[in-house]
Amino acid sequence: MNTQLRRLCLAYLALATLWVLLGEVLLHSFDQASQPISMLQVGKGMAFVIFSTLLMYALGRHYLVRLDRHQQEQRIIRGSLRQAEAVFASTQEGVLISDAQQHILYVNPAFSRITGYSLEEVVGQTPKLFASGQHDASFYGQMWQDLQDKGMWSGEIWNRRKSGEVYSQWQNLRTICDEHNKVTHYVAVFSDLSALKRSQEELDYLAHYDPLVALPNRLLFSERAKHDLERARMDKRCGALLMIDLDHFKDINESLGHSQGDTLLLAVARRLGVHLEQGMTLARLGGDEFALLCEQCNAGQAAALALRLLDSLALPFQLGSNELFITASIGIVLYPDDIENVEQLLRNADSALFKAKGSGRSTYAFYTQELTSQAQQRVELSSALRQALEQNQLQLHYQSIHKLQNERIIGFEALVRWRHPEQGLISPA
């Protein structure tokens, strides 16, 4: 550009000089009456030519400098725009830009991927197009109030995709103002929370449900039992907890393997589930132990339900080529009488279950206060027996074995006897 300017100025200088030097001569040749040009006139003409040439060059240089600066600024702006466009195009978050009247001007590819709407479908529309209907007017009122007061808003919002699916998104809204602090645009940047919500639901499910049989686990069962225990006290009604334990399940696991054992547990859960009615919760507490919470149940109804469950479990189970027959024992505790909390409710049910197993299995037993005393005695006796080993309270006795035909001694058996310092001789039974 500078070279062209110099050439232009030099061309002008040459032509103007030629005109000054030859112009008067040419004029005199056509008009013989004109006076010859003087050196002073030539000098004045050349001074004007040189001055105008320098002025032209100076003005041209000034123009070219400004033009070059403008072009550089335009290149920087175009580069920034390309970078911003690349960022908008590659970001995983949706971007929406609207004017001050909320008419959509631009959305990026991530927006289209998340919502299902293309740029052409939303340009000129307002964000009301995505409203899910799950927020009331006060929610949006607070949003716009924050935008007006703070120039920004962020939070979780439920919107609707083009497919009609309602989904959760985390959204950041900002206002763009001009030099007079007047809003010219709104920018929304949001991320889809659907995957996070699904992960949270999966974690919540794993925390509250048994993955094998898809039943509530001990944690969820305890929460529901606690809730119903409180409601039963308020409503002054009777409920029942049935603790169900399979008899000799360990033998099945050891003989057929844990895989078959798991298959059996799943079949048991399904068979027990057949008897579920409204107001009942069936849970797997762990291992081969199940629990059934009945919100509306008296003693007679609990006993009848226990018999139906035992009869159902007595039917054969077909596991591949194996036909299995199992039995179960059931401990029953009624609430809310004398039940202070869920822990006591479960303990009493365990005591009743222990009684049922002690009665020959394949039966049910109700909890009584006597069972708590017996359980306490067993705990105390077990603790005292550990001390007996340390304090040498166990004594070894030999008992002769006689042959009845001739009353001869044919051997001896060694017996351990426990002589408690306070209770005296304690029977092995």
Instruction: Tell me how far apart the alpha carbons of residues 309 and 297 are, in angstroms, rounded to a whole number.
Output: 15
Give yes or no for a contact between 173 and 158, defined as CB atoms under 8 angstroms apart. no
* pLDDT, tens only, 353-383: 998 998 888 899 998 876 555 555 665 666 6
Q: Give me the sheet containing 289-294, strands edge to edge.
A: 280-286, 289-294, 239-246, 328-335, 364-366
Backbone phi and psi for residue 315, each to the nearest 5 degrees, phi listed first: -70, 150
Tens-digit pLDDT profile for the chain (429 aa)?
Answer: 667 767 777 777 777 777 666 666 655 555 544 455 556 666 666 777 677 777 777 777 777 777 777 777 767 656 665 666 666 777 889 999 999 999 999 899 999 999 999 999 999 999 999 999 999 999 999 999 999 999 999 999 999 999 999 999 999 999 989 888 899 999 999 999 998 999 999 999 999 999 999 999 999 999 999 999 999 999 999 999 999 999 999 988 888 888 999 999 999 999 999 999 999 999 999 999 999 999 999 999 999 999 999 999 999 999 888 889 999 999 999 999 888 999 999 999 999 999 899 888 889 999 887 655 555 566 566 666 667 677 777 777 777 777 777 777 777 788 777 777 767 776 665
Would you identify the CATH topology of the domain 92-197?
Beta-Lactamase (3.30.450)
* pLDDT, tens only, 409-426: 777 788 777 777 767 776
CATH dotted code for 209-388: 3.30.70.270
Give yes or no for a contact between 110 and 93, defined as CB atoms under 8 angstroms apart. yes
Domain ranges, ordered by start, for the chain? 2-86, 92-197, 209-388, 392-426
Q: Are strands 364-366 and 328-335 parallel, antiparallel or unpaired?
A: parallel
Instruction: Tell me how far apart the alpha carbons of residues 328 and 288 are, in angstroms, rounded to a whole number.
Output: 10
Give yes or no for a contact between 23 and 16, defined as CB atoms under 8 angstroms apart. no
